[in-house]
């Protein structure tokens, strides 16, 4: 039974090591994934903003051309005004001039509005580009190191899994299945006792059960936490033995 206790302790250490390695692998991979997602999002935003700026610049060019055309019409209307001979003709030309000037003002207001939006989009592009440059630098700087770390962690994980297979086979199948069943509910499935108290939950074990555990004839489970409990002599008792 002492040999089986040793195998259980070894299996527990291996499982704790595996849990640590798996958590570190997850953390490293998530870190890389977050950086790559952030870079993709920034590049997509810059692409959308650049398309918006290009569309607004085209609209502004069209408006500029329309304003030039309207100004030419105003110039012709002024000439017509100078040639008008009757009140009716003068009033008609004045209305035409007012309408043309209003159209020019509207187009100029629209150009100014578009210019403000385009400038805000350009600022957003510059900000996103600065962030993207930082993320790329971080990704370039950490990616290689992180990938090396991941490779080392995967090698460590494979080594632990190999040791686990060997240790698992050294245990009786019934005991191993009980261990695995308990491990699904709590990270550490075993606990020792040297004074009648379970070192897993720190609750006293019934005296009759404790006597039975001390004889090391078979494994029992703590009535409180259900861990596989075994007797571990105090250090002083082991030294004297």
Q: Per residue in 152-188, pLDDT tens?
A: 999 999 999 999 999 999 999 999 999 999 998 888 9
pLDDT at 236: 58
Q: From CA 7, how far away is CA 9, in angstroms rounded?
A: 5
Structural domain count of the chain: 2
CA distance 45 to 71: 38
Is residue 8 situated within a structural domain?
no
CA distance 128 to 39: 9
* Percentage with pLDDT > 70 across the chain: 97
Confidence (pTM): 0.64
CA separation for the pair 148, 179 (Å, rounded): 34
Q: Work out the percent of the chain whose per-residue pLDDT is above 90.
A: 76
Banded model confidence at residue 233, pLDDT cuts 50, 70, 90? confident
Do 78 and 101 belong together in one domain? Answer: yes
Residue 175 · residue 219 · CB < 8 Å = yes
- CATH number for the domain spanning 90: value is 1.10.287.1490
The dihedrals phi and psi of 193, each to the nearest 5 degrees, come to -145, 140
pLDDT (0 to 100) of residue 140:
79
Task: Determine the average pLDDT of the residues in 103-123.
Answer: 96
Confidence grade of residue 239 (pLDDT, cut at 50, 70, 90): very low
Whole-number Å distance between alpha carbons of 241 and 237: 6
Residues 30 and 134 in one domain: yes
State whether 206 and 162 are in the same domain. no
Last residue of a domain, one of 169, 192, 222: 169
Domain extent at residue 212: 173-240
Q: Helices (H) and strands (E) in the chain — how many of each?
A: 5, 3
**Which of 145, 169, 193 marks a domain boundary?**
169
Do 24 and 53 reside in the same domain of the chain?
yes
**Same structural domain for residues 128 and 73?**
yes
Mean pLDDT value of segment 185-198: 92
Residues 108 and 141 in one domain: yes
pLDDT tens digits for range 64-99 = 999 999 999 999 999 998 998 899 999 999 999 999
The predicted model gives 209-217 an average pLDDT of 91
3-state DSSP assignment of residue 177:
helix
Query: Is residue 72 domain-shared with residue 136, that is, in the same domain?
Result: yes
């Amino acid at each position: 039974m002492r040999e089986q206790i040793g195998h259980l302790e070894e299996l527990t250490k291996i499982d704790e090591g595996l849990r640590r390695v798996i958590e570190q692998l997850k953390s490293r991979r998530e870190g890389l994934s977050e950086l790559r997602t952030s870079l993709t999002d920034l590049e997509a935003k810059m692409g959308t903003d650049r398309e918006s700026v290009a569309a607004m610049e085209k609209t502004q060019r069209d408006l500029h051309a329309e304003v030039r055309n309207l100004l030419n019409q105003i110039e012709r209307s002024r000439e017509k005004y100078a040639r008008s001979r009757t009140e009716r003709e003068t009033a008609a030309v004045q209305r035409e001039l007012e309408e043309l000037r209003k159209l020019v003002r509207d187009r100029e207001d629209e150009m100014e509005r578009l210019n403000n939006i385009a400038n805000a989009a350009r600022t957003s592009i510059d900000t996103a580009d600065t962030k993207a440059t930082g993320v790329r630098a971080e990704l370039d700087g950490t990616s290689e190191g992180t990938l090396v770390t991941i490779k080392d962690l995967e090698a460590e994980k494979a080594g632990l899994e190999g040791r686990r297979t060997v240790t698992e086979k050294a245990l009786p199948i019934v005991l191993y299945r009980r261990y695995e069943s308990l491990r699904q509910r709590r990270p550490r499935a075993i606990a020792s006792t040297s004074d009648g108290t379970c070192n897993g939950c720190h609750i006293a074990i019934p005296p009759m059960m404790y006597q039975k555990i001390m004889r090391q004839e078979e494994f029992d489970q703590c009535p409180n936490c259900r861990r596989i409990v075994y007797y571990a002599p105090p250090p002083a008792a082991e030294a004297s033995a």
